[in-house]
Amino acid sequence: ESLDQGLQKTKEGFLSKIGRAIAGKSTVDTEVLDNLEEALVGADVGVTTTVQIINKIEARVAKDKYLGTSELNNILKEEISSLLVDAPDSGFRDFDTPAGIKPYVIMVVGVNGVGKTTTIGKLAYNYKKAGKSVLLGAADTFRAAAVDQLTVWSERVGVPIVKQQMGSDPGAVAFDAVQSGASKDVDVIIIDTAGRLHNKVYLMDELTKIKRVMKKVLPDAPHEVLLVLDGSTGQNAVEQAKQFTAATEVTSLAITKLDGTAKGGVVLSITNQFKIPVKYIGIGERMEDLQVFDKEAFVDSLFS
Ligand code: GDP
């Protein structure tokens, strides 16, 4: 799916909410701003980010004296873009790995059901397509389904997988995967982990342990800790991001399931609020449905 198609529901929701916010009004006045504030919060942009956007528009209204509601879409787009100028950007565009780092180890974390396994499959597909050799590590050893599903993805994409029996030590799987990848000189190793947020101390310990064990093979691994969030849960995804980033060091974010939801405004909220860049967005279930996130393209698409 294209970005425009993938964001269809969010776009429709967003534009219709803005339309309602200005219905029957010719100028942007306090009432319009109040309605707009409500519309943005309702579109999952989040209170903090919404207030910042409204403040910017308010300042603009004060400066320009008159703002017609017909211009509001463009103004909103400009102000959201300018708000995100300083937001983190992964700089990543073409599934290349950093020079001198091989294997490049990605540890993928996130709560069950958010689309972690699917995202790993999509990443493997994209790296492979970019000419990189890839190996998967099934360190979510608590759910048989997780290992099975990752195995299906490894077959679908055509990349090797390192796994052990269900219930085995996740650290041992991670160790094996990194060792095997290093000895085979693969470019990218992607490690799945269990995501059981209901026990935060446990989760933190487990992720710390997996990292520690990897470092026995490669001292600077993991090079990336990717947190996967389900965009269709809206502001809940923001809460999960807060909890995970408190539990372990996260270096990049993926926001999935944006195709089936009108809550895509959460991407603006997360981009604006976290110091960690959104690196990928998921806009479908197929392996082609992962996009490298580009904040400008995203805002453009929202208003197109
Ligand atoms: P995990 O438990 O976090 O590993 O989640 P899975 O990868 O198994 O995904 C859970 C469900 O979400 C599956 O049915 C996936 O096909 C679906 N899914 C994952 N990513 C996306 C996406 O970007 N869009 C849509 N529509 N579905 C997705």
pLDDT tens track for 161-178: 999 988 889 999 999 999
**Other C-beta atoms within 10 Å of 54: how many?**
18
d(CA 90, CA 296): 13
d(CA 166, CA 171): 13
pTM assigned to the model: 0.96
Closest ligand 1 atom to residue 143 Cα is 2
> Residue 278 corresponds to which tokens in the numbers above?
């959104």
**Other C-beta atoms within 10 Å of 51: how many?**
14
Give residue 4's pLDDT. 94
Closest ligand 1 atom to residue 228 Cα is 3
Q: Quote the Cα angle for 218-225-221, to 5°.
A: 5
3-state secondary structure 83-126: HHCCCCCCCCCCCCCCCCCCCEEEEEECCCCCCHHHHHHHHHHH
**Other C-beta atoms within 10 Å of 257: how many?**
23
Ligand 1: which residues within 6 Å by Cβ? 110, 112-118, 149, 256-257, 259-260, 282-285, 289
Is the peptide bond prior to 222 cis by the omega test (within 30 degrees of 0)?
yes
Give residue 66's pLDDT. 83
ipTM for this model = 0.99
Q: Can you count the helices (H) and strands (E) in the chain?
A: 12, 8
Give residue 92's pLDDT. 94
| Residue 256 annotated in ligand binding | yes
* Residue 205 contacts residue 151 (beta carbons within 8 Å): no
Return the best residue to mutate from 118, 136, 190 for the ligand 1 pocket (most ligand atoms within 8 A of CB).
118
Ranges of residues in the chain with a pLDDT under 50 are none
| 227: enclosing H helix or E strand | strand 224-230
Give residue 198's pLDDT. 65
Give residue 206's pLDDT. 87
In 3D space, the residue among 279, 210, 281, 195 whose CA is nearest the CA of residue 240 turns out to be 195
Q: Quote the Cα angle for 83-93-281, to 5°.
A: 65
Q: Residue 46: helix, strand or coil by DSSP?
A: coil
| Residue 124 annotated in ligand binding | no
